[in-house]
Amino acid sequence: MTAALDSVLSLAPLTAEHLSAVVEIEQASAFVPWPSSLFEQCLRDNYLNHVLLHQQQVQGFSLCSFGAGEAHLQNIVVNQNQQGQGWGRWLLNKTIEALAAVDAQRLFLEVRASNQAAIHLYQSYGFENVGLRRDYYQAPVGREDAYVYVLELPKPR
Ligand SMILES: CC(C)(COP(=O)(O)OP(=O)(O)OC[C@H]1O[C@@H](n2cnc3c(N)ncnc32)[C@H](O)[C@@H]1OP(=O)(O)O)[C@@H](O)C(=O)NCCC(=O)NCCS
């Protein structure tokens, strides 16, 4: 499935010209969307950022902070209209390949306890649940827990 998508999807480094599309996708998909200033900061800091392109259009993105061999998946989103057709798994796979290529050894992430789609994706990919952060996220009512997941990354080929 992931390999079959290689002919229709492509990955590119996130640049300033993608920011408006990325912010739009984020605003449509997240309960508490990141402000555009946070995306701009990701362009400056020690991040590995990618966009998923379909027919030259930005349809998703992944943002990873990276340092000292450890990476942190800060955000991964597929355009709401395009979810559920394997693009999220494809983007996660390509992001992990890119991290392995710069010698990252493990990838951490937090995910809302209610986010069944993302949890299914991470668990089926092989991420291990290594912790719980109580009341980590703002929720529609009160706060919501985060699960912490980690994946040991493959050695670069
Ligand atoms: C999480 C996200 C990136 C997944 O992208 P996607 O393109 O919809 O995912 P895929 O189509 O590749 O599906 C990945 C897996 O999740 C499963 N899945 C998708 N939606 C699901 C749902 N609502 N409940 C349970 N599983 C679901 C799919 O069945 C698939 O598993 P499979 O390959 O074993 O069949 C996407 O849902 C998204 O952008 N969500 C909003 C932002 C977000 O929550 N990001 C994660 C932050 S931690």
122 is catalytic: yes
Backbone angles phi, psi at 107, to 5 degrees: -125, 120
pLDDT of residue 2 exceeding 90? no
Q: What 3-state class would DSSP assign to 98?
A: helix
- Closest by CA to 25, choosing from 61, 72, 74, 64, is 61
Pocket of ligand 1, beta carbon within 6 A: 29, 76-78, 83-89, 109, 111, 115-118, 120-121, 124
Question: Which residue's CA is minimally distant from atom 26 of ligand 1?
Answer: 117
pLDDT, residue 156, reads 65
**Cα of 119 to ligand 1 centre, how many Å?**
8
The pair of structure tokens assigned to 39 is: 């995306």
pLDDT, residue 157, reads 63
The pair of structure tokens assigned to 137 is: 């996220």
Question: Which residue's CA is minimally distant from atom 2 of ligand 1?
Answer: 88
Q: What 3-state class would DSSP assign to 47?
A: strand
CA 63, CA 109: separation in Å to the nearest integer?
11
pLDDT, residue 47, reads 94
pLDDT, residue 87, reads 98
* Mean pLDDT value across residues 122-146: 96
CA 120, CA 81: separation in Å to the nearest integer?
19
pLDDT, residue 71, reads 97
CA distances, 34 to each of 22, 129, 132, 143 (Å): 10, 25, 22, 17
Question: Which residue's CA is minimally distant from atom 9 of ligand 1?
Answer: 88
- In this prediction the pTM is 0.95
CA count, 13 A, side-chain hemisphere, 157: 3
Task: For residue range 73-119, list pLDDT tens digits in order.
Answer: 999 999 999 999 999 999 999 999 999 999 999 999 999 999 999 99
User: Domains plus CATH for the chain?
Assistant: 4-152 (3.40.630.30)
Instruction: Exactly one of 47, 122, 147, 149 is catalytic; name it.
Output: 122
Q: Are strands 57-67 and 143-152 parallel, antiparallel or unpaired?
A: unpaired
Task: For residue range 18-54, list pLDDT tens digits in order.
Answer: 999 999 999 999 889 999 999 999 998 889 999 999 9
Question: Which residue's CA is minimally distant from atom 8 of ligand 1?
Answer: 83
**Cα of 90 to ligand 1 centre, how many Å?**
11
Length of the chain equals 157
